[in-house]
Amino acid sequence: MQVQMQVLWLDRGDTRELEQVGDAELPLLATLARGASLALGAAEASFWLVLRGELDIAARAGAFRLGAGQWIHFDRGAHPLLHAGERTVAVGLVLPAALQMRLLRSPQLALFPGRGSATGLARRLLARRWRAVLGRPGRGMQATPADRWQVERLLRALAGLQQGQQALIARCPGRSLSHRRQVYARMQRALQYIEGHTHRVVRIGELAELSSMSVWYFTKTFRAVYGECPQATSVRLRLASSARLIRDTPLSITEVGAASGFENNCSFSRAFRTHFGVSPSLYRSGAQALSTDPANPMDRACGAVA
C-alpha cells in the first residue's frame, strides 16, 4: 500500500485549528513543541507519541495527560484539542477517515483506539522514523515522492506498538476477522472513554450507546475481551488516578476522593484500602509505595507493549 503524506510543524506557542486535513487521502505528520496547540476536526483519526515533556489532550473521549514515551490513538469523531508543555516535543499522525478505513483493512498497518507506552528502544526507533520523513522544520506541507517508503516504515512501526492486541481481537465475537476487528475497535473506544473520565462514575448505558450495542451484549463482550466487567475497570482506573493525585498534588484525601468520583470519604478510603492494601493517608505519608500505572487490561492480557 503506497502512501504519501503532508507535514505540519507547530512550535513556540503556535496555534492551529484543522477542521479537515488538506488532502482527504493523505496522512498529515505533525510535530507539537514548546507550548504549541492543535485542534482537529471530528472527521480525522490521530496517533500521538510524546518524545519529551507532557502533552495535555481534551477530547470527546475525555481528558488525558501523556508523559514521555506514552502514546494514544483516537478514532475519528474524537475531536481532540492538544496542548504541548513548554518543554514538550510530541509527534503525531493525523488520518483522514477514508485513509483510516484503508489502514484498518491492512493486516500490517491497522491502528485501533487506545493508549500505551513505548520502550526506550521503540521510542528511539519511532523518533528516527519521524525524522526521516519530516526532515528539517518548515520544509512545507507537501512531501516529496522519495518519502513514501519512509512513511510506510513509520506506519508499520506505529502498528507494531499495538501488536499485542491480536490476542484480544481473537476474543471478540464474529465469524470473520474483519468483523472481530470492528467489534474490538468499539471495545477500545469504550475503554478509552473510561480512561478519559476517571473523575466520575461512567454508566454502562453510556458505554453501550457509544459502542452501538445493547447493555447486555456490551457487558458480555467487554468481559470476554478484557477479562473484567466495565464497572471493575472504571473503579480500578479511578483508584489508580486517585493514587497519583495523592502522590503528586496537595489535595486533601477527601478532595482526592471527590475528584476520583467517589461519593464520600468513607467509600473512597475503603475502596483504596481494598485495592492497594493500604489506606490513602498511610500512602501519602510515604510508608508504602504503590504502582499507580492504570494497567490497561490489554497490557495485563498481552504483556507490556514494546
Bridge pairing between strands 15-18 and 37-40: parallel
pLDDT of residue 69: 94
Range 87-111 average pLDDT: 86
Residues 196, 234 contacting (CB under 8 angstroms): no
Q: What is the pLDDT of residues 259-274, one digit of tens each?
A: 999 999 999 999 999 9
Classify the C-alpha dihedral 174-177-182-185 as positive or negative: positive
Model confidence at 141, in pLDDT bands (50, 70, 90)? very low
Rounded average pLDDT over 20-34: 81
In which residue are the cell numbers 491492512 written? 106
Average pLDDT over residues 224-241: 97
Q: What's the whole-model pTM score? A: 0.87
The residue among 156, 46, 45, 35 whose CA lies nearest residue 89 is: 35
**Which of the residue ranges 1-5, 61-65, 250-254, 263-267 would you say has the lowest mean pLDDT?**
1-5
Specify the range with the lowest mean pLDDT, choosing from 44-53, 59-68, 152-161, 222-231.
152-161
Residue 288: pLDDT band by 50, 70, 90 thresholds?
A: low
Average confidence (pLDDT) over 129-142: 60
Q: At what angle do helices 230-248 and 177-195 cross, to 10 degrees?
A: 40
- Measured between alpha carbons, how far is 182 from 170 in angstroms, rounded to an integer? 12
Distance CA 256, CA 182 (A): 37
pLDDT at 137 over 90: no
**What is the spatial distance between Cα 174 and Cα 187, in angstroms, rounded to a whole number?**
14
Predicted pLDDT of residue 163: 79
Q: Among 91-100, 144-153, 176-185, which stretch is predicted with the lowest mean pLDDT? A: 144-153
So what's the pLDDT on residue 97?
A: 80
Instruction: Decide: 148 and 3 in contact? Cβ < 8 Å.
Output: yes
Contacts of 144 (CB under 8 A, 6+ apart): none
Structure confidence by residue, pLDDT tens digits, 113-126: 999 999 888 888 88
Q: What is the predicted pLDDT for the residue at 4?
A: 62
Task: Give the angle 62-228-297 at the CA atoms, nearest 5°.
Answer: 55
pLDDT in tens, 171-195: 999 999 889 999 999 999 999 999 9
Dihedral sign for Cα 286, 288, 289, 291, please.
Answer: negative
Using DSSP's 3-state secondary structure scheme, residue 297 falls into helix
pLDDT at 128: 85
pLDDT of residue 153 exceeding 60, the answer is: yes
* Per-residue pLDDT, 287: 58
- The string of pLDDT tens digits covering residues 197-224 is 999 999 999 999 999 999 999 999 999 9
pLDDT of 136 higher than 60: no
Confidence of residue 306 (pLDDT cuts 50, 70, 90): very low
User: What's the mean pLDDT when you consider all of the chain?
Assistant: 86
Average pLDDT over residues 278-293: 77
Q: Residue 296 contacts by C-beta under 8 Å, 6 or more apart in sequence?
A: 114, 115, 116, 191, 195
